[in-house]
Structure 1
Amino acid sequence: MSDSAISLRDIRSFHVGGATVELVGQPRQEVRVSPDAAPRTVDMNGHYVSGQLYAQHFMLEQPRSDVPILFWHGGAMTGVTWETTPDDRPGWSQFFLRQGHDVVVSDAVERGRASWSPYPQIYDSAPLFRTAEDAWYLFRMGEAEDFADRRPFSGQRFPIRRFDQLCAQFVPRWTTNAETTIAAYMQLVARFDRVIVIAHSQGGWFAQSLAARMPERIAAVVLLEPAGAPNLDKEGLARSARVPHFYVWGDNCDSHKAWKPYKSDAIAHSDSLRDLGGQVETLDLPKQGIYGNSHMPMMDDNSDEIASMVATWLRRNMN
Structure 2
Amino acid sequence: MTCTAISLRDIRSFHVGGATVELTGQPRQDVRVSPDAAPRTVDLNGHYVSGQLYAQHFMLDQPRSDLPILFWHGGAMTGVTWETTPDDRPGWSQVFLRHGHDVVVSDAVERGRASWSPYPQIYDSPPLFRTAEDAWYLFRMGAAEDFAQRRPFGGQRFPIARFDQLCAQFVPRWTTNARATIAAYMKLVGRFDRVIIVAHSQGGWFAQSLAARLPDQIAAVILLEPAGAPNLTPNEQALAAQVPHLYVWGDNCDSHKAWAPYKADATAHSERLRSFGGSVETLDLPRQGIFGNSHMPMMDDNSDEIASLVVAWLARQRIANKDRARI
Same fold (TM over 0.5): yes
Partner in structure 2 of residue 110 of structure 1? 110
Partner in structure 2 of residue 131 of structure 1? 131
User: Aligned partner of 1:145: which letter?
Assistant: E
Partner in structure 2 of residue 290 of structure 1? 290
Distance (Å, rounded) in 2 between the aligned partners of 1:67 and 1:267: 27
Shift of 1:315: 1.2
User: 1:244·1:318 contact (CA, 8 Å) conserved in 2?
Assistant: no
Distance (Å, rounded) in 1 between the aligned partners of 2:180 and 2:223: 21
Partner in structure 1 of residue 31 of structure 2? 31
Shift of 1:2: 3.4
User: Aligned partner of 1:168: which letter?
Assistant: A
User: 1:208·1:240 contact (CA, 8 Å) conserved in 2?
Assistant: yes
Partner in structure 2 of residue 198 of structure 1? 198
Secondary structure of the residue that 1:56 maps to in structure 2?
strand
Distance (Å, rounded) in 2 between the aligned partners of 1:81 and 1:102: 17
- Counterparts in 2 of 1:166-315, with a 5 A limit? 166-315=166-315
Distance (Å, rounded) in 2 between the aligned partners of 1:38 and 1:315: 62
User: 1:69·1:195 contact (CA, 8 Å) conserved in 2?
Assistant: yes
Superposed CA offset, 1:45-104 (max 9, x none): 000000000000000000000000000000000000000000000000000000000000
Distance (Å, rounded) in 1 between the aligned partners of 2:316 and 2:220: 11
Runs of 4+ residues over 6 Å off in structure 1? none
Q: Considering only aligned residues, what root-mean-square deviation do their CA atoms show, in Å?
A: 0.5
User: Aligned partner of 1:271: which letter?
Assistant: E
Taking a change above 3 Å as real, the CA distance of residues 318 and 38 of structure 1, as seen in their structure-2 partners, is farther
Taking a change above 3 Å as real, the CA distance of residues 166 and 318 of structure 1, as seen in their structure-2 partners, is farther
Distance (Å, rounded) in 1 between the aligned partners of 2:15 and 2:318: 28
Shift of 1:316: 1.2
User: 1:219·1:318 contact (CA, 8 Å) conserved in 2?
Assistant: no
Distance (Å, rounded) in 2 between the aligned partners of 1:3 and 1:278: 35
Distance (Å, rounded) in 1 between the aligned partners of 2:23 and 2:316: 51
Superposed CA offset, 1:145-177 (max 9, x none): 000000000000000000000000000000000
Query: Normalised by the size of structure 1, how large is the TM-score?
Result: 1.00
Partner in structure 1 of residue 13 of structure 2? 13
Distance (Å, rounded) in 2 between the aligned partners of 1:25 and 1:103: 43
Secondary structure of the residue that 2:53 maps to in structure 1?
strand
Partner in structure 1 of residue 322 of structure 2? none
Secondary structure of the residue that 2:80 maps to in structure 1?
helix
Shift of 1:318: 4.8
User: 1:28·1:43 contact (CA, 8 Å) conserved in 2?
Assistant: yes
Secondary structure of the residue that 2:20 maps to in structure 1?
strand
Secondary structure of the residue that 1:235 maps to in structure 2?
helix
User: Aligned partner of 2:216: which letter?
Assistant: E
Superposed CA offset, 1:255-288 (max 9, x none): 0000000000000000000111000000000000
User: 1:73·1:107 contact (CA, 8 Å) conserved in 2?
Assistant: yes
Partner in structure 2 of residue 78 of structure 1? 78
Secondary structure of the residue that 2:113 maps to in structure 1?
helix
Alignment size in residue pairs = 319
Secondary structure of the residue that 1:100 maps to in structure 2?
coil
User: Aligned partner of 2:22: which letter?
Assistant: E
Taking a change above 3 Å as real, the CA distance of residues 142 and 315 of structure 1, as seen in their structure-2 partners, is same
Distance (Å, rounded) in 2 between the aligned partners of 1:100 and 1:150: 38
User: Aligned partner of 1:76: which letter?
Assistant: A
Secondary structure of the residue that 2:196 maps to in structure 1?
strand
Secondary structure of the residue that 1:105 maps to in structure 2?
strand
Distance (Å, rounded) in 2 between the aligned partners of 1:88 and 1:233: 43
Distance (Å, rounded) in 2 between the aligned partners of 1:221 and 1:89: 24
User: Aligned partner of 1:125: which letter?
Assistant: S
Distance (Å, rounded) in 2 between the aligned partners of 1:283 and 1:68: 22
Distance (Å, rounded) in 2 between the aligned partners of 1:318 and 1:132: 41
User: Aligned partner of 1:254: which letter?
Assistant: D
Taking a change above 3 Å as real, the CA distance of residues 99 and 36 of structure 1, as seen in their structure-2 partners, is same
Gaps of 5+ in 2: 320-327
Taking a change above 3 Å as real, the CA distance of residues 316 and 172 of structure 1, as seen in their structure-2 partners, is same
Distance (Å, rounded) in 1 between the aligned partners of 2:18 and 2:171: 20
